[in-house]
Amino acid sequence: MADCIFCKIVAGEIPSDRVHEDPTCIAFRDIQPQAPVHILVVPRQHLARISEMTPQHEPLVGHLFHVATEIARQEGVSDQGYRLVINCGAHGQQAVDHLHVHLLGGRQMTWPPG
């Protein structure tokens, strides 16, 4: 997608602080971190939102979550816990229309979310 900021990050056209890459996804630190650990796990393939998921995306979405748990371990937040978030659409306050999983950790989260 020509105008997609995360497609540009995947392609290396926009720099990012990468913590993981594999043939399916990359992960990089959020530019405006909301927690001491705030990492985005992003598929290389452009899929605008989780609501566009079909059965064929099940392995992809499963992989994103597995990678997020591995990065949480790598970042040292696994034992104390963390939050994995996917924002979807307007009410979900999704700002970038390219599927991504937020890994947030390193501080106490609150519930309900804002």
Q: Give the residue with the Cβ less far from Zn ion, 4 or 61.
A: 4
SS3 state of residue 48? coil
State yes or no: is 100 an active-site residue. yes
Work out how close the CB of 84 gets to ligand 5GP at its nearest, in angstroms, rounded to a whole number: 12
Smaller CB separation from ligand 5GP, 51 or 93:
93
- Minimum Å gap between C-beta 38 and ligand 5GP is 7
Q: List interacting residues with ligand 5GP (CB under 6 A).
A: 5, 14, 16, 28-32, 40, 87, 93-96
106: left (phi over 0), alpha (psi -120 to 50) or beta: left
Q: Which is nearer to ligand 5GP, 55 or 60 (CB)?
A: 60
Indicate the SS3 state at residue 61.
helix
CB atoms within 10 A of CB 90: 7
How far is it, in rounded angstroms, from Cα 5 to Cα 66?
24
Active site residues: 100
